[in-house]
Amino acid sequence: MGKDFKLALVVSDTAKAQEGAEALRGAHDWVRADKADALVVLGGDGFMLHVLHRMLDHGRVVPVYGVNLGTVGFLMNRHRGSRPIAERVARAREVAVVPLEMRARTIGGKEHKYYAINEVSLLRETRQTAKLEVKVNGKVRMAELAGDGVLVATPAGSTAYNLSANGPILPLGCGMLALTPLSPFRPRRWKGAILPDSAEVCFCVREPDKRPVAAVADQKEVRNVAEVHISVARQHQLTLLFDPGKSLEERIFAEQFQV
């Protein structure tokens, strides 16, 4: 970034983040978020996702440098640093993150559209097993997937819910998506699939009145869905900033070698 770039400070309402912000408020000449060339976000991964979604909703996207004052901080940089915050941002490496677009139609015919940076999940709403037809690029690939549900994850989100569901970790820039079943009952041993990110995935809910299913795009939920279409939203690319040697790509590599 240029040396005259403008920074805005965006802080989670947690006590830890608010305390950390006090040390930074006087360390730079901050501007309002709508005037900034980049955002410095203090908090955890959940707050980072909230900020990224807010940018998508408002249609003004700028690079974001996260400072971990939350729990996991997978999308963030470490809190303590020897350099001034403006210099850390200026030296940071840019990482492109492309969200998913979810288009969901309910059994009542209402249409919803949301974006997901980590994953889109379909989840059963009751004790009844969800039954889903799986289409990829308009072709039926699985006539019936029965279980708790299914998800489609981006590389950036592959270490989140997807990993907990035994899905694969995807390196950034691989051009792939993870399609991962959630506690599949039939076919019982199906482990999912890795798809090119050019693919459009469609899930059709079987017996939606008897077996209601909710669709969740990160933090946005649509209940009682009948059909869900998922594709990559390339026109809404986001940029995360990481300290040199601490990129999201390195964290994804490190996650695969944990024992």
**159 annotated as belonging to a binding site for a ligand:** yes
H/E stretch holding 106 reads strand 100-106
**148 annotated as belonging to a binding site for a ligand:** yes
- Based on the number of CB atoms within 10 Å of its own CB, is 175 exposed (0-12), middle (13-18) or buried (19 or more)? middle
**137 annotated as belonging to a binding site for a ligand:** no
What's the CA gap between 122 and 182, in Å, rounded? 9
Name the active-site residue from 4, 29, 45, 197.
Answer: 45
**CA angle, corner 252, sides to 249 and 258, nearest 5?**
145
Phi, psi of 20 (to 5 degrees): -65, -30
Token pair for residue 209?
A: 């009145």
**164 annotated as belonging to a binding site for a ligand:** yes
Strands (E), 119-234: 119-124, 130-136, 139-153, 176-186, 193-196, 201-205, 213-217, 220-222, 225-232
**224 annotated as belonging to a binding site for a ligand:** no
Residues facing 97 on adjacent strands: 238
Q: Is 57 a residue of the active site?
A: no
Q: Cβ contacts of residue 28 below 8 Å, gap of 6+?
A: 7, 9, 84, 85, 86
**39 annotated as belonging to a binding site for a ligand:** no
**CA angle, corner 42, sides to 39 and 44, nearest 5?**
120
**13 annotated as belonging to a binding site for a ligand:** no
**161 annotated as belonging to a binding site for a ligand:** yes
**227 annotated as belonging to a binding site for a ligand:** no
**130 annotated as belonging to a binding site for a ligand:** no
**65 annotated as belonging to a binding site for a ligand:** no
Task: List, as one string, the DSSP characters of 23-91.
Answer: HHHTSS----GGG-SEEEEEE-HHHHHHHHHHHHHHT----EEEEE-SS--TTSB-S--SS-HHHHHHH
**114 annotated as belonging to a binding site for a ligand:** no
Binding residues: 45-46, 50, 118-119, 148, 156, 159-164
Binding residues for NAD(+): 45-46, 50, 118-119, 148, 156, 159-164
Query: What residues are annotated to the active site?
Result: 45
